[in-house]
Structure 1
Amino acid sequence: MVRQTAHSQRPAGTQTVLTLGGTWRGIHRLFPIAIFLIPFGIAFGVAATEHGMSVYQSIAMSALVFSGAAQFVSLDFLRAPVAFGSLALIMLAINARFIIMGAALSPWVNALPITKRMLVLSYLTNPNFADSQRAFKSGERDVGILLGGGLVLWANWVIGTTLGAVAGSMIGNPKTFGLDVVMDCFLATVLMGEMDNRTAIIPAIVASVIALLTGGWLPTGWNVILAAIIGGIAGEMFRAK
């Protein structure tokens, strides 16, 4: 059997495009999941105002940064004097996963002009990465589904932040309703659908074990980077056998 590479998964004779229709399809695909991003945005809006940010600053941060985990962590650095060096390292660790995501999407996204490429990747998140990569592997050629999924997630994140920043602590803790596990369950379901052979299962298991074992003693996010590296090495070693 000939093993397909990432570049060979795109059907021959097709051209990667970015259309309005594809963007709408991306919005429709992830709208049910994006709804559950609102409670997380509410939690951030509440936390941001409690850390001294104004309503407008909280909303602007979510609209411009759009990185949930990184935004929550950054709140602890708002006290003067701001430790910009430490903050930069933490942000790098938390967001380093996007390097891996970008590499996985490169056979499709890199076919776009640089301006369109930057627009699409500005809205890259875990859910629309998982959804779009599966669609691309199935023959999808419209990168609009990646952009559309990111846009609907971004919109709900900003809406949630606005509600949390305006209403404050009156809303309460969204985790009380158990909504904090919805996104994790969605990602786990998508990933399980990709576990169709041992070549995919081995690195996933190795990376999961490493992430769990090192999560307690490595700084936030670095355990994920280490897990990705070791998991990738394990996958290549297994494939070479």
Structure 2
Amino acid sequence: MTPSPPGAQLDLAGTLSGIRRMAPLSLFVVVFGLAFGVAALSRGLSGLETMLMSALVFAGASQFAALELWGPEIPLLPLIAITFAINARHLLMGAAIQPWLAYLPPAQRYGSVVLMSDSNWAMAVADRQRGETNLGMLVGGGIALWVTWLAGTLLGVIFGSGIEEPERFGLDVIMGCFLLAMLIGGRRDLSMLLPWAAAALTAVAAMAWLPPHSHVIVGALAGGLAGLLFPAKQTRKPSP
């Protein structure tokens, strides 16, 4: 059996550490879950349907987008298209950590990505860049986010009221600020500016001229293509 290389380990201690580290950010997720629970009830979903949607889908932006199309007659193809557009970034996120997961047992490998979301993925990637060998941040962080998302949804279902417009309080930018902090705190290499700039510029252009949510795919593909065509130069180690 091929041994797992450095960077491909998962244990209970690492998972618990990931839960603790993600706990502060997870508290903000409760607010969004509450808003979703209230919005889902107002669109005609039952409390059970709302909880099942949060438990099984676990994708806030896609769930809110689905509510916009919800009604007596659900347009299935547009619903599939908009859900794919919003979550297509997970294809690239998964590809980015595939070398890290490649030698893990299948149950650990696929179970880890089931819990993957933007924030725990970003923290796990930052850990990997610092030489961390444990996937606990990805798994434990995902568990923390999933539990608090469910808790917030439950509060919305129980009380039937809450913060329906989190942007009024600036809460909608919390996740963006967090990801920006992870980006800045990661590997400091000027060669990374090119893919960042390509992704940012094409995403902004797509927001202006292309259909909604397509900027997610366009920006990610442009950044990835720039990184592929102009890879970072490897620093040569001095000869002994």
TM-score higher than 0.5: yes
- 2:75 is aligned with 1:83: yes
Q: Name the amino acid aligned to 2:84.
A: L
The answer on whether the counterparts of 1:35 and 1:156 sit within 8 Å (CA) in structure 2 is yes
Quote the sequence identity (%): 40
State the SS of the aligned residue for 1:132: helix
May I ask how many residue pairs the two structures share in their alignment?
230
Give the whole-Å Cα distance in 1 for the aligned partners of 2:65 and 2:59: 10
**Is 106-115 or 87-96 further displaced after alignment?**
106-115
Query: Counterpart of 2:114?
Result: 122
Of 180, 204, 207, 2:196 maps to 204
Match of 1:48 among 33, 40, 55: 40
Q: Kindly provide the CA deviation profile for residues 40-99 of structure 1, in whole angstroms up to 9, marking residues without a partner as x.
A: 111111110110011121111101110000000111222232221121111111111001
1:96–1:225 contact (8 Å) kept in structure 2: yes
Kindly tell me: are residues 83 and 235 of structure 1, through their superposed partners in 2, closer, same or farther at Cα, counting changes over 3 Å?
Answer: same
Asked if 1 retains the 8 angstrom alpha-carbon contact of 2:5 and 2:103, the reply is no
Deviates more, 1:77-86 or 1:89-98: 77-86
Q: Per-residue deviation at 1:228? A: 1.6
Q: Which residue of 33, 39, 52 maps to 2:25?
A: 33
Partners of 1:65 and 1:130 lie apart in 2 by 20
**1:232: how far off?**
2.3
Instruction: Describe the SS at the equivalent of 2:185.
Output: helix
1:171 CA displacement: 5.2
| Residue 23, structure 1, aligned to residue 15, structure 2 | yes
Q: How far apart, in 2, do the equivalents of 1:120 and 1:144 lie?
A: 9
Structure 1 length normalisation: TM-score? 0.88
Return the match for 2:138 from 141, 146, 150. Answer: 146
Alpha-carbon distance between aligned partners in 2 of 1:142 and 1:205, rounded to the nearest angstrom = 30
Q: Residue 182 of structure 1: which of 174, 180, 197 is its match?
A: 174
SS at match of 1:35: helix
Cα distance in 2, alignment partners of residues 192 and 73 from structure 1: 29
C-alpha distance in structure 2 between counterparts of 1:27 and 1:232, whole Å: 30
Alpha-carbon offset, residue 216 of structure 1 = 3.1
Q: Which amino acid aligns with 1:199?
A: S
CA contact (8 A) 2:195 2:223 kept: yes
* TM-score of the pair, normalised by structure 2: 0.88
One-letter amino acid matched to 1:47: A
The 3-state SS of whatever aligns with 2:124 is helix
Counterpart of 1:165?
157
2:61 aligned residue: 69
Any unmatched runs of 5+ in structure 2?
Answer: 234-240
SS of equivalent to 2:209: coil
How much is the aligned-residue C-alpha RMSD, in angstroms? Answer: 2.0
